[in-house]
């Protein structure tokens, strides 16, 4: 391998791929078969970039040549940048050698569209196939499907990849029309529908015949960019909800728009990345996936945007004070999960522990709940109950004054910007 050339390619093609926020490498159960290399099971982050994001996969583009011209993308045709392309063998070598050194959990491979969708997709599939069949590689493979690729290629991709994703990019069709006029939503949704049906079909087969090949065992995910177009959080979360419900997506990723290109359809280059908003969207997403919240409970007509200064669960609790206080020693797990300051693990611990005796504040604190927040919303084995007759605004003030949220400072500067 020519060290200089491969280094340059890696720099260019990793740099161009970094805006894709997906990095998960969990959700698959690929075992190491026949003394091969690797397994894909628990999703380990092997390092963290200086911006604090997890690195678990070698995330690269096959090439940053692209026939399209999407406004938000560094690889767009009209952007004057250095271009490069890996060969199939180069990607395979990098993956194997990084994996053997325990740098990564596997490969996340995406690509600019060169020539046409199928031509590009065919190469992505060829890399995955080579890794699996020639190198007995059982690490994680995530392929970004190229919108418009044929069903046959998608089907083959599913045989070798753990996860497939088609990025929606913009939360709404209008947003997409504005910034990526050559793309159309149908081309994105069509393969998602195909994959969904295929995954269901293959899972059924698998339950009947153990030997049936796994098909995209970690399912499919997508990404939406927020802050490039004017959609509200309500629109973003409804889109996410729609895809969770109708396409069985495993994850929706929210990517705060990083201004990389000057274009009058886009926020100016000096606009800061909406980190707090992105974080709130992830919190809201967790509420939908793990805490039993409906999307309508999190955002509605009166509250189309998530609060930037408090998290969405606290926001919901303050709007629904009539649901509280909850008796920690009696309430259902589902209700306990709705208390601000109590996470999934603490909620489960509470439910286990209270079989042995009623819990008081001291024990709750030790179990790991944030008593500072939770105390306004629960009663326990103690006569003390903090809320008295406080109104929602007062509770919010108390909580905010006590918590040193890492976001408060950034939140105010961001608020000033809008």
Partner 1 sequence: MTTLIYDGTFEGLLTVVFEIYERRLQQVKLQKGVWLSMALFEDVLQITTDNGRAGRVLNGLRSRLSAEGLQRLYAAHLAEVESEDGMILGYIRYVFDAPFNVEEDYGNKYVLRLSEIVRTVRREKHRMEAFVRFKELQDKTFYATIEPDFNVLPLLGKHFKDRYADQKWIIYDIKRNYGLHYDLHDLQFITLDFSTTNPTNVISAYQENESLYQDLWKNYFKSANIPARKNTKLHMRHIPKRYWRHLPEKL
Q: Which of partner 1, ligand SF4, none binds 112 (CB below 5-8 Å, type-dependent)?
A: ligand SF4
By CB under 6 A, residue 125 contacts ligand SF4: no
By CB under 8 A, residue 83 contacts partner 1: no
By CB under 6 A, residue 216 contacts ligand SF4: no
For strand 378-379 and strand 326-327, is the pairing parallel, antiparallel, or unpaired?
parallel
Stretch that binds partner 1, among 10-18, 113-121, 290-298, 383-391 (CB under 8 A): 10-18
Binding-site string for ligand SF4 from residue 52 to residue 91, where x marks contact by CB under 6 A and - marks none = --------------x-xxx--x-xx---------------
Stretch that binds partner 1, among 28-36, 120-128, 240-248, 387-395 (CB under 8 A): 28-36
Output the CA torsion sign for 344, 348, 351, 354: negative
By CB under 8 A, residue 133 contacts partner 1: no
Stretch that binds partner 1, among 70-78, 95-103, 224-232, 389-397 (CB under 8 A): 95-103
Distance CA 259, CA 272 (A): 8
Give the footprint of ligand SF4 on residues 152-211 (CB under 6 A).
180
Of the two residues 197 and 345, which places its CB atom closer to partner 1 in the complex?
Answer: 345
By CB under 8 A, residue 383 contacts partner 1: no
Helix (H, G, I), strand (E, B) or coil at 149: coil
Of 120, 96, 119, residue with least CA distance to 110: 120
By CB under 8 A, residue 418 contacts partner 1: no
Distance CA 211, CA 207 (A): 9
Stretch that binds partner 1, among 51-59, 287-295, 307-315, 371-379 (CB under 8 A): 51-59
For strand 40-42 and strand 26-30, is the pairing parallel, antiparallel, or unpaired?
antiparallel
For strand 57-61 and strand 163-165, is the pairing parallel, antiparallel, or unpaired?
unpaired
Give the footprint of partner 1 on residues 350-369 (CB under 8 A).
352-357, 359, 363, 366-367
By CB under 8 A, residue 406 contacts partner 1: yes
Of the two residues 34 and 384, which places its CB atom closer to partner 1 in the complex?
Answer: 34
Distance CA 65, CA 86 (A): 11
CB 120 within 8 A of CB 70: no
Rounded to a whole number of angstroms, the minimum distance from the CB of residue 91 to ligand SF4 is 17
Find how far residue 102's CA is from the centre of its chain.
23
Output the CA torsion sign for 120, 26, 135, 194: negative
By CB under 8 A, residue 36 contacts partner 1: yes
**3-state SS string over 35-61?**
CCECCEEECCCCEECCCCCEECEEEEE
Give the footprint of partner 1 on residues 216-275 (CB under 8 A).
256, 258-259, 272-273, 275
The token pair that represents 103 in the structure block: 């740098």
What DSSP designation does 252 have?
E
By CB under 6 A, residue 112 contacts ligand SF4: yes
Helix (H, G, I), strand (E, B) or coil at 103: coil
CA angle at residue 265 from 259 to 268, to 5 degrees? 35
Of the two residues 75 and 346, which places its CB atom closer to ligand SF4 in the complex?
Answer: 75
Distance CA 172, CA 224 (A): 9
Of 249, 317, 309, 257, residue with least CA distance to 285: 249
How many residues bind ligand SF4 (CB under 6 A)? The answer is: 10
Q: Which residues contact ligand SF4 by CB under 6 A? A: 66, 68-70, 73, 75-76, 112-113, 180
Q: Which residues contact partner 1 by CB under 8 A? A: 1, 3, 6-7, 10-11, 14-15, 18-19, 31-32, 35-39, 44-55, 58-59, 94, 97-98, 100-103, 136, 256, 258-259, 272-273, 275, 349, 352-357, 359, 363, 366-367, 406
């Amino acid at each position: 391998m020519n060290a200089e050339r491969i280094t340059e390619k890696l720099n260019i093609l990793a740099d161009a791929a970094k805006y894709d926020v997906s990095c998960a490498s969990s959700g698959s159960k690929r075992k190491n078969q026949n003394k091969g290399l690797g397994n894909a099971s628990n999703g380990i982050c092997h390092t963290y970039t200086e911006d604090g994001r997890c690195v678990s996969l070698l995330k690269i583009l096959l090439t940053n040549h692209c026939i399209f011209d999407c406004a938000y993308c560094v690889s767009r045709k009209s952007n004057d940048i250095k271009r490069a392309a890996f060969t199939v063998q180069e990607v395979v070598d990098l993956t194997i050698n990084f994996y053997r050194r325990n740098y990564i959990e596997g490969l996340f491979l995406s690509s600019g569209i060169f020539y046409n969708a199928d031509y590009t997709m065919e190469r992505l599939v060829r890399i995955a196939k080579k890794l699996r069949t020639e190198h007995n590689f059982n690490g994680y493979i995530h392929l970004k499907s190229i919108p418009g690729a044929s069903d046959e290629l998608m089907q083959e991709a599913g045989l070798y990849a753990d996860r497939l994703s088609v990025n929606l990019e913009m939360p709404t069709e209008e947003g997409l029309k504005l910034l990526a006029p050559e793309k159309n939503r149908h081309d994105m949704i069509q393969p998602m529908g195909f994959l969904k049906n295929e995954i269901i079909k293959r899972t059924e087969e698998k339950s009947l015949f153990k030997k049936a090949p796994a098909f995209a065992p970690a399912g499919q995910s997508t990404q939406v960019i927020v802050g490039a177009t004017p959609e509200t959080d309500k629109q973003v979360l409804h889109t996410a909800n729609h895809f969770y419900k109708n396409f069985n997506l495993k994850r929706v990723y929210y990517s705060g728009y990083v201004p990389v290109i000057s274009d009058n359809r886009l926020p100016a280059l000096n606009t800061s990345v909406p980190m707090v908003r992105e974080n709130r969207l992830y919190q809201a997403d967790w509420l939908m996936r793990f805490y039993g919240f409906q999307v309508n409970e999190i955002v509605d007509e009166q509250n189309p945007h998530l609060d930037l200064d408090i998290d969405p669960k606290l926001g919901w609790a303050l709007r629904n004070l009539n649901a509280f206080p909850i008796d920690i020693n009696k309430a259902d797990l589902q209700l306990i999960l709705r208390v601000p300051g109590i996470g999934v693990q603490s909620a489960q611990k509470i439910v286990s522990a209270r079989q042995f005796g009623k819990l008081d504040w001291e024990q709750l604190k030790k179990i790991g709940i944030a008593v500072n927040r939770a105390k306004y919303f629960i009663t326990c084995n103690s006569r003390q109950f903090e809320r008295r007759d406080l109104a929602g605004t007062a509770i919010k003030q108390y909580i905010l004054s006590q918590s040193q949220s890492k976001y408060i400072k950034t939140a105010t500067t961001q608020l000033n910007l809008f």
